[in-house]
Amino acid sequence: MGSKTVPHFTIEYSANLDDRIDFSTFCEALRGAAVATGVFPLGGIRIRALKCADYAIADAAEENAFVDISLRMGRGRDLETRRQAGQVVFDAADAYLGDLFDDIPLALSFEVREIDPDLSFKKNSIHQRLKAHE
Amino acid sequence: MGSKTVPHFTIEYSANLDDRIDFSTFCEALRGAAVATGVFPLGGIRIRALKCADYAIADAAEENAFVDISLRMGRGRDLETRRQAGQVVFDAADAYLGDLFDDIPLALSFEVREIDPDLSFKKNSIHQRLKAHE
Amino acid sequence: MGSKTVPHFTIEYSANLDDRIDFSTFCEALRGAAVATGVFPLGGIRIRALKCADYAIADAAEENAFVDISLRMGRGRDLETRRQAGQVVFDAADAYLGDLFDDIPLALSFEVREIDPDLSFKKNSIHQRLKAHE
């Protein structure tokens, strides 16, 4: 039940960003950054986005928007490694959003937390497929 | 990387509530309560709702419903402050749902947890906009 | 504010599974397994699924898919009890997905974590309804 190979990125975003950001491409940008960290086995990387149709942000101005990213990863890497990997992915998200911070009031956040290895279960046939294609 | 300013409220609810509750207004009610606590800087408040189209609750009776609220907040406030702030927002949610508890079998839950400040990254242009409007 | 009765299962899955898996039935299968553990009071069981329309998995091959299950439960049960309950539900998920692991590159994961009882609030009219039907 080792869980080193489990980086889960879940993105929640306000629906008013839907016509400004392509979240499929955004997921792909984060995937590239996660691969580039060198910390995560390729077959374990899972990034997804959830659109929040209903929301209320700050002073409730209509143009307020948010992108919130949670990374859950397996235990077994030291704090500095986790922080550096987090920074790489955060920088990729920041770069992707780019000038949007100037255009609209936008909050980007990114949190990293660990998964308890004693209470983690998994099964994965992606690894085999990747090996078959090597 | 101080993260005191980060209150994230994520609401998950069973889709059978969609014709009974306006979750946009519900988010707004929680936003008002979060502001009223005095604990959270205005520019950092983010509340959103996610509709769960598929679900199975308790004995699986069709009318069973749930509203589950998770609050993630930055570290740096003592337990009593967090508990009181949580209570204010929970009471607002409870008041909003009101008689619905008598009408249908409904479970409301609210959990507060802290974000690890060492593994939190963010960028926010809402604060500047709020200052510009002061 | 005891929170022993709070098992929340949230399933996130890649949208490319939508034509292969009926997630309503999947939720029901997990509900049955959760009941069978004997650990959770019936009225507190809440299972739901969230479809992730946008995602990027492993090497980004189109057929890659994931099902990720998070269980949040009230504190007050020992590690072994939590692990066994987790295993029962994981096995049910695994059995339900069955041959799909051979058909496509699929990652199933399941994480258990506890809810802080000091910062948990709730109200539930499902319990009363269940009692009324006993």
Total-model pTM? 0.95
ipTM: 0.94
Residues of A in contact with C52 (CB under 8 A): 48-50
pLDDT of residue A83: 93
Tens digits of per-residue pLDDT, A68-80?
999 999 888 899 9
Task: pLDDT band for A4, please (50, 70, 90 cuts).
Answer: low
Say whether domain A8-132 belongs to CATH 3.30.429.10.
yes
Q: Which residue of B has its CA nearest to A109?
A: B122
Model pLDDT for residues A91-131, shown as the tens digit of each residue:
999 999 999 999 999 999 999 999 988 889 999 999 999 98
Tokens of C45: 């069981």
Are residues A43 and C60, on separate chains, in Cβ contact within 8 Å? Answer: no
- Cβ pairs bridging A and C (under 8 Å): 109
- Contact list in B for residue C72 (CB cut-off 8 A) is 111
Which residue among the candidates C7, C41, C105, C117 is catalytic per the annotation?
A: C7
Which residue in the set C30, C50, C116 is minimally distant from B56, CB to CB? C30
Low-confidence ranges of chain B (pLDDT < 70): 1-5
For residue A1, pLDDT beyond 60 = no
**Cβ-based contacts of C45 with chain B (< 8 Å):** 56-58
pLDDT for position A132: 86
Candidates A45, A48, A115; nearest CB to C58: A45
Give the domain ranges of chain C: 8-132
Which chains reach chain A with 3 or more Cβ–Cβ distances below 8 angstroms? Answer: B, C
Which of C54, C57, C112 is facing A46, going by the closest CB pair?
C57
Q: Note if C7 is an active site residue.
A: yes
State the amino acid at position C125 in one-letter form.
Answer: S
Run means of pLDDT, 10 residues per run, chain C, 134 residues: 70 97 98 96 96 98 97 90 94 96 96 90 92 81
Helix, strand, coil percentages, rounded to 5, for chain B: 40, 30, 30
- For residue C4, what pLDDT is reported? 56
CB contact under 8 A, C105 and A128: yes
Chains with 3 or more CB pairs closer than 8 angstroms to B? A, C
Based on its alpha-carbon atoms, the radius of gyration of chain C, rounded to whole angstroms, reads 16
- DSSP assignment of chain A equals ---TT--EEEEEEEGGGTTT--HHHHHHHHHHHHHHHS-S-GGG-EEEEEEESEEEETT--TT-EEEEEEEEEES-S-HHHHHHHHHHHHHHHHHHHTTHHHHS-EEEEEEEEEE-GGGEEEEESHHHHHHHT-
Residue B10's closest CA among A89, A56, A9?
A56
pLDDT in tens, A7-31: 999 999 999 999 999 999 999 999 9
**Among the partner residues B66, B86, B102, nearest to C119 by beta-carbon distance:** B86
CB contact under 8 A, C54 and A48: yes
CB contact under 8 A, C23 and B50: no
Number of neighbours of residue B133 by Cβ within 10 angstroms: 9
The answer to whether C129 contacts B102, with C-beta atoms less than 8 Å apart, is no
| Nearest Cα residue in chain A from C83 | A119
